[in-house]
Structure 1
Amino acid sequence: MLKLYYSKGSSAIAAHVLLAEVGAAHTLVEISIPKGAHTSDAFLAINPKGRVPVLETPQGVLTENPAILEYIADTYPEAGLAPEGAFAKAKARALSAYLCATAHVAFAHKQRGLRWAREESSLKDMQSKVAENIRDCAVFLENDLDLAPWAMGESYSYCDPYLMLMARWLKANDIALDPFPKLARHFDAIKARPATQEVFALHGLS
């Protein structure tokens, strides 16, 4: 049995959607970031990073979306959500790494600036750049990915629920999806999937 620690509306949505996609037996533990549950001693004992998602597996604890998503896909090979071949696998990891280390970090400057600075002027300066940086990330992804129709091509993969977060980060910064038709079509397509609808309902998202 897998156990997913998540906060509603957080990037843990990606792992949650993938668990639903593969039909994995799992339990959920809500760690409310707005309520500070991620800083509790009990949660820090599970993940000293103090962040979600966290996936408890029979082998131990996994953190970080790229690792969790690939683990789920590899653990349920019958779902066909892990790209095959060395190059395709590397491309999927490259996309996940970009979303994790560049796009998500850019978005995090909006509300998590205290991770990098403490002066009010510094925090405001970082926040003022978030929309521009997220837009730049979207421009790169719109141009770099074929999205035909999915992140890795014709087949839905573990990258797709992660890429879905880009549309949410854009919307959170009041950036319209119109200039990014491929990302917009991808977002609409993934929202239409039953697994996504099930998870969105639990998170209170539309």
Structure 2
Amino acid sequence: MIKLHGFALSNYYNKVKFVLLEHGIEFEEVLTKLPLAEAQLAQSATGKVPFIETEQGFLCESEVIVEYLAARFPDKRIFSADPWQAAKERELIAVIETHLELAVRELYPEAFFGGTVSEEVKKSVEKRVTRHIASLKRLATFAPYARGEQFGIVDMSAFVNLPLIGMATQAIYGRDMLAEAGVDWKAYVKLLGARPAAQRVGADRKAYIEATR
């Protein structure tokens, strides 16, 4: 059985968990907090969560894990069967995770954890996020799902990442940059939240936050 290491506050842990739940892949959760102990770096070379444990060993990085799951369980159709459509899914995930969430992550210390972020960093992030929200809008339709009428892997990434982008930019700049650009992520996330797997992810995240206060 696959063991998923991490904790329910992590958006990328929750992305992998969403995929596992949505596709009915059996797994076990192993609570693993940061920073990792020295011995655990042999399990997650980047020192991050999530990472998974399989009969063959350990694997880290959420998108690599998803790719592994897609290859190991081809019958689950985690990505579209059509190669072009699957590539377009990966393209949009890259915009959400690499170009938007990773940029906004630089704001998290001040937006969510009581720290401070320099004005230089804030200006840099604002410029990059503005550019790549435009990229998001070119690729995503939200009609009603990210890529049209069918729910898919992109939505699992968007579900855990778009709220962070909206809330962090609201906290730092006094405006939700996604909403300002016409991306109604709250309605979209509410739609996704009707799915049982999303409800489980959300409930477990809430329970974790309450337990660690």
TM-score by structure 1 length? Answer: 0.78
For residues 188 and 131 of structure 1, do their structure 2 counterparts lie closer, same or farther at Cα, with a shift above 3 Å needed?
A: farther
Contact kept, 8 Å, 1:135 with 1:170, in 2: the verdict is: no
State the superposition RMSD in angstroms.
2.9
Deviation at 1:16, TM superposition (A): 1.1
Amino acid at match of 1:18: V
Report 1:18-97 matches (<5 A). 18-32=19-33, 37-97=34-94
CA distance in 2, matches of 1:138, 1:20: 29
Match of 1:140 among 127, 135, 138: 135
**2:27 is aligned with what amino acid?**
H
- State how 1:1-206 maps to structure 2 within 5 Å: 1-11=1-11, 12-32=13-33, 37-111=34-108, 123-131=118-126, 133-164=128-159, 165-174=161-170, 175-176=175-176, 178-179=179-180, 180-181=182-183, 183-204=185-206
Distance in 2, matches of 1:3 and 1:62, equals 10
Secondary structure of 2:165's aligned partner: helix
1:14-48 CA-to-partner distances (Å, cap 9, x unmatched) read 1111111112211112233xxxx333213212112
**Identity score, percent:** 25
Where structure 1 has 5 or more consecutive residues not aligned to the other structure, the ranges are 114-120
Q: CA deviation at 1:75?
A: 3.6
Which whole-Å CA distance do the structure 1 matches of 2:166 and 2:21 have between them?
24
**Residue-by-residue CA offset, 1:31-85 (whole Å, 9 max, x unaligned):** 33xxxx3332132121121111212233332222222223334444444332122
Relative to its length, the structure with more helix (as a share) is: 2
The whole-number CA distance in structure 2 between the counterparts of 1:159 and 1:15 is: 12
Mapped to 2, the partners of 1:178 and 1:104 lie a distance apart of 15
For structure 2, the residue ranges without an aligned partner over 5 or more in a row are 111-115
- Partner amino acid, structure 1, of 2:147: M
CA distance in 2, matches of 1:151, 1:104: 16
TM-score by length of structure 2 reads 0.76
CA contact (8 A) 2:3 2:28 kept: yes
- Residue 90 to residue 143, structure 1, CA distance change in 2 (3 Å): closer
Structure 2 partner of 1:117: none
One-letter code aligned to 2:6: Y
Task: Give, as a single letter, the amino acid of the residue that structure 2 aligns with 1:9.
Answer: L
